[in-house]
Amino acid sequence: MSLAAAIVVGLVGLIHVYILVLEMVLWDTPKGHKAFGLTPEFAAASKVLAANQGLYNGFLAAGLFWGLWLGAAGRPVQVFFLLCVLVAGLYGAATASRRILYVQALPAALGLALLALA
């Protein structure tokens, strides 16, 4: 695997750790409100759902880091989890916010391209 691919896979993992923190810890705070365009009332009412969503983002990050940890043998793991991130990003962009396309789907697509070239 190329260094560039490993860096992008790692960055996608870190993005998903950050999303986990936003959704599980900061959802019902001013930072969470700003990040997701929430009213305090909606954030309070949806806090449990957001935490569940954050947990799934944590699983994506864990899978990507596991794939990196496995080294060359982890390439299929990285591809699988990057595909999961890509699909989630495309779905989120279509249903929730176009910004998700750039934050989630595009980095995953870049990681997949770099893995394919490696």
Instruction: Looking at the chain, list the stretches that DSSP marks H as alpha helix, in order from N- to C-terminal side.
Output: 3-24, 30-36, 40-45, 47-69, 75-95, 99-100, 106-117
Query: Rounded to whole angstroms, how far apart are CA atoms 105 and 17?
Result: 15
Instruction: Assess whether pLDDT exceeds 90 at residue 47.
Output: yes
- Counting residues of the chain whose pLDDT is more than 90, the rounded percentage is 98
Q: Which residues contact 57 (CB under 8 A, 6 or more apart)?
A: 16, 17, 19, 20, 23
Mean pLDDT of the chain: 96
Stretch 105-114: mean pLDDT, rounded? 98
Q: Which residues contact 6 (CB under 8 A, 6 or more apart)?
A: 68
101 DSSP assignment = I
Q: In this predicted structure, what is the pLDDT of residue 33?
A: 95
Structure confidence by residue, pLDDT tens digits, 57-108:
999 999 999 999 999 999 999 999 999 999 999 999 999 999 999 999 999 9
Q: In this predicted structure, what is the pLDDT of residue 49?
A: 95
pTM of the model: 0.92
